[in-house]
């Protein structure tokens, strides 16, 4: 029976495998050695079954001022993640994980193990964003580490319809793609209890990572996005590795060793899809969206800004949509 082999990644609706003729063999986290981190040369070799969380942990174990710009969900397998591009909270500064993949080892259709030189630049281009299982079986990735400050800053600020969420979200769409590239602000849109008993409202939560201290972050926000009203009290200074836990939604005080578990601490099952926009969504359309969301039981939208480094990447740099995109919507 033919096999379809792929590593761990988000199976967003329009990217799912559909075939009656293949047995889909899913083999995440099957690996023998931990990531081989080389701080001196700013790189690491990682087997495809390692999770993003372990990759982050092993880098931070060696250095507090090095990181890697990959995904936000720490239980994902790095092998399949990079083959899909792999965006995260540092992409506005350093681009995607695929931008920072500098070598790989794959098994081709003839059973040969090839590195970047042996496979050639065309194949290396294809596996970074085009889905690795389409072209061979990924064994290892060699990644380039990036510098991170010893102290970074995070915040999460919520606004509801009653506190101006519509106008604020419209303004965020204009600001987030062009703000300081050290700053990443994404938005979660969900339902919450309204002010009246039994009522519901829409809440927007602005979750941010800033590659620097709180004082400079507040200064950036006051100059570029004062409408959100972020103050020093909203900000928490931390290390980059602990910011990973914050962005991933772990409770405050969770030890970083949780990243070595290789699986999510909760079980959430849902169907999702993503799309991209090139221009801000008007307030009137947002108001229509709120009406739609209020009819749902437990809707979730995540709005992710591009800009920064992402706006400098040419469209054919790899098989991942970047040109002209300012926001990514996941629902």
Q: What is the mean pLDDT of the chain?
A: 86
pLDDT score recorded for residue 246: 96
pLDDT digits (tens, 9 = 90+) for 160-178: 999 999 999 999 999 999 9
Residues 264 and 171 in one domain: yes
pLDDT score recorded for residue 197: 82
Residues 194 and 224 in one domain: yes
Does pLDDT of 7 surpass 80? Answer: no
> pTM for the whole thing?
0.89
Burial class, 250, CB count within 10 angstroms (exposed 0-12 / middle 13-18 / buried 19+): middle
Last residue of a domain, one of 147, 180, 213: 147
DSSP string, 167-226: HHHHHHHHHTTTS-TTEEEEEEEEEEE-SSTT-EEEEEEEEEEESS-HHHHHHHHHHH-G
pLDDT score recorded for residue 20: 46
Q: With bands split at pLDDT 50, 70 and 90, how would you rate the model's confidence at 265?
A: low
Does pLDDT of 12 surpass 70? Answer: no
Q: With bands split at pLDDT 50, 70 and 90, how would you rate the model's confidence at 208?
A: very high
Q: How many domains is the chain built from? A: 2
- Average confidence (pLDDT) over 228-255: 96
Last residue of a domain, one of 113, 147, 181: 147
Share of the chain above pLDDT 70, in %: 81
CB of 74 within 8 A of CB of 244?
yes
Residues 165 and 256 in one domain: yes
Residues 142 and 173 in one domain: no
What CATH number is given to the structural domain containing 209? 3.40.462.20
Domain housing 231:
152-330
Q: With bands split at pLDDT 50, 70 and 90, how would you rate the model's confidence at 30?
A: low
Residues 235 and 281 in one domain: yes
Last residue of a domain, one of 119, 147, 175: 147
Residues 242 and 94 in one domain: no
> Which residues on neighbouring strands pair with residue 113, listed in sequence order?
107
Helix (H) or strand (E) holding 106: strand 101-107
CB of 262 within 8 A of CB of 54?
yes
pLDDT score recorded for residue 292: 95
89 CB-near residues (< 8 Å, 6+ apart): 69, 72, 184, 186, 209, 243, 247
pLDDT score recorded for residue 3: 60
Does pLDDT of 303 surpass 90? Answer: yes
- Average confidence (pLDDT) over 144-173: 97
pLDDT score recorded for residue 328: 65
User: How far apart (Å, rounded) are the C-alpha atoms in residues 249 and 252?
Assistant: 9
pLDDT digits (tens, 9 = 90+) for 124-134: 988 887 765 67
């Amino acid at each position: 029976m033919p096999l379809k082999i792929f590593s761990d990644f988000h199976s967003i609706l329009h990217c799912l495998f559909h075939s009656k003729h293949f047995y889909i063999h899913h083999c995440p986290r099957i690996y023998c050695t931990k990531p081989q981190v080389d701080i001196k040369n700013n790189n690491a070799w990682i087997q495809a079954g390692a999770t993003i969380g372990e990759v982050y942990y092993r880098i931070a174990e060696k250095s507090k001022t090095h990181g890697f710009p990959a995904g936000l969900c720490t239980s994902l397998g790095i092998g399949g993640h990079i083959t899909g591009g792999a965006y995260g909270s540092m992409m506005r500064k350093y681009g995607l994980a695929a931008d920072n993949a500098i070598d790989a080892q794959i098994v081709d259709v003839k059973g040969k193990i090839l590195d970047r030189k042996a496979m050639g630049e065309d194949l290396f281009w294809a596996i970074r964003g085009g889905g690795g299982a389409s072209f061979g079986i990924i064994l290892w990735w060699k990644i380039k580490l990036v510098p991170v400050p010893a102290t970074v800053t995070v915040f999460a600020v919520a606004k509801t319809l009653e506190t101006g969420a519509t106008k604020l979200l419209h303004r965020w769409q204009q600001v987030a793609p062009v703000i300081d590239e050290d700053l990443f602000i994404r938005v979660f849109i969900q339902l919450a209890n309204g002010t009246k008993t039994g009522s519901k409202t829409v809440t927007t939560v602005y979750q941010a990572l800033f590659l620097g201290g709180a004082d400079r972050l507040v200064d950036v926000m006051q100059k570029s996005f004062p409408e959100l009203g972020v103050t020093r009290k909203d900000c928490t200074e931390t290390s980059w590795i602990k910011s990973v836990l914050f962005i991933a939604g772990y409770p405050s005080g969770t030890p970083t060793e949780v990243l070595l578990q290789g699986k999510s601490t909760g079980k959430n099952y849902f169907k999702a899809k993503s799309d991209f926009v090139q221009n801000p969504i008007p307030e009137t359309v947002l108001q229509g969206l709120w009406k739609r969301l209020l009819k749902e039981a437990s809707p979730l939208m995540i709005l992710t800004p591009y800009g920064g480094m992402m706006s400098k990447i040419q469209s054919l740099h790899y098989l991942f949509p970047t040109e002209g995109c300012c926001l990514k919507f996941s629902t």
